[in-house]
Amino acid sequence: MAGNGPDDGRSRKERADAIRDAQARKQRTLTLTIGTVTAVIVIVLGLIVAKSISSSPAAKADPSETSGLISSTLASEIKSVPASVFDSVGVGSASNGPKAVSGGSAMTADGKPRILYVGSEYCPYCAAERWGLAVALSRFGTFTNLGKTASSATDLDKNTNTLTFHGATYTSQYFSFTGYEQQNRTRTKTVDTLTTADNALVTKYDNGGSIPFIDLGGLFIGSGASYDPATLAGMTHAQIGAALSDPSSAAAKGIIGTANLYTAALCKLTNGQPATVCSSSGVSAGAAAAELG
């Protein structure tokens, strides 16, 4: 009949139902597509946020920077500071070097003057002083298995990158060395425990209880830091190691200056040997500045 349009054999109701079904399928497809796209966006955003967090300054407190052994490159930089750098720096920015012990008596082990270090990994003053002491002793022998750590994240001069003597060994024809790190950098764990005899030494000579405490052969005592730990603020282990050969750097002026102060005392214990070290101008400057008696 005219005006009714083509007849496909279905009633008007059946055609209406078919249209509604088609629209419903289209809506479900659209909803599914939107849901899938949304899920993908959420995943991508999550990955971006995770990457951002992992590269943020807070996340850079990577355990690999505060544990394990120092690199072979850093070990070489500590061991092989050029003689010209020691002489150029002199005492640099260092002060408060080792002092002669009034009425002290020689302390030996294995027939050699014994060097005793007592500190803790959390201590920022220990963090600064270890560098200078390690460089000084490396002029007379060799450290193996030196570790890396950083001072406390909540103390003064927080996160100062440094060495740790825990687990390290020292070989020298001139000296015997004992290093204690009493607590870890978070002050939650005892690392090394002093023997009764060594604890008595600390009690006898370190009346203020300050650390680091360094006894050089029973005749000289070092206590506290010889330069400001803030000198090393923000520097990585690698940057500190590289700075050791640059006499103009603030780090070298503190560390190498400290090393010359300690070397001057160590040369007293060896009667000026080896001469190539003990007769150098840098060590002479250290001897003039230190209170060695």
- Nearest alpha carbon to residue 140 among 169, 117, 187, 172: 172
Query: How high is the pLDDT of residue 293?
Result: 80
Whether residue 98 sits in one domain with residue 86: yes
Show which of 34, 60, 86 is a domain's final residue. Answer: 60
Looking at every residue in the chain, the average pLDDT score rounds to 86
Three-point CA angle 94, 192, 143, nearest 5°: 55
- Contacts with 79 (C-beta within 8 Å, 6 or more apart), sequence order: 138, 142, 143
d(CA 96, CA 202) in angstroms, rounded, equals 18
* Whether residues 187 and 277 fall in one domain: yes
**Which tokens in the block code for residue 292?**
């060695």
Based on the fold, state whether residues 129 and 256 are members of the same structural domain: yes
Q: What is the DSSP string of 65-123?
A: GSSSBPPHHHHHHHHT--HHHHHHHTTTT-----EEPTT----EETTEEEEEEEE-TT-
Kindly tell me the burial class for residue 242, based on how many C-beta atoms sit within 10 Å of its own C-beta (0-12, 13-18, 19 or more): middle
Same domain, 160 and 32: no
Mean pLDDT throughout 285-290?
Answer: 96
Final residue before a domain boundary, out of 36, 60, 84: 60
CB atoms inside a 10 Å sphere around CB 4: 7
Tens-place pLDDT, residues 72-98: 999 999 999 999 999 999 999 999 999
Q: What does the pLDDT read at residue 59?
A: 32
Query: What pLDDT is stored for residue 53 in this prediction?
Result: 39
Average pLDDT over residues 202-230: 93
Domain range holding 108? 63-289
Do residues 52 and 107 share a domain?
no
**Same-domain check for residues 54 and 140:** no
Shared-domain flag, residues 211 and 115? yes
Band (10; pLDDT cuts 50, 70, 90): low
Q: Indicate the number of domains in the chain.
A: 2
The SS3 of residue 41 is helix
Q: Are residues 45 and 68 located together in one domain of the fold? A: no
The verdict on 170 and 257 lying in the same domain is yes
What confidence tier does 208 reach under pLDDT thresholds 50, 70, 90? confident
The reply to whether 78 and 209 lie within a common domain is yes
Give me the residues paired with residue 179 across strands: 117
Write down which residue in 12, 44, 60 finishes a domain.
Answer: 60
Q: Is residue 25 located within the same domain as residue 99?
A: no
Whether residue 93 sits in one domain with residue 19 = no
More confident residue, 83 or 52: 83
What is the average per-residue pLDDT within 180-187? 97
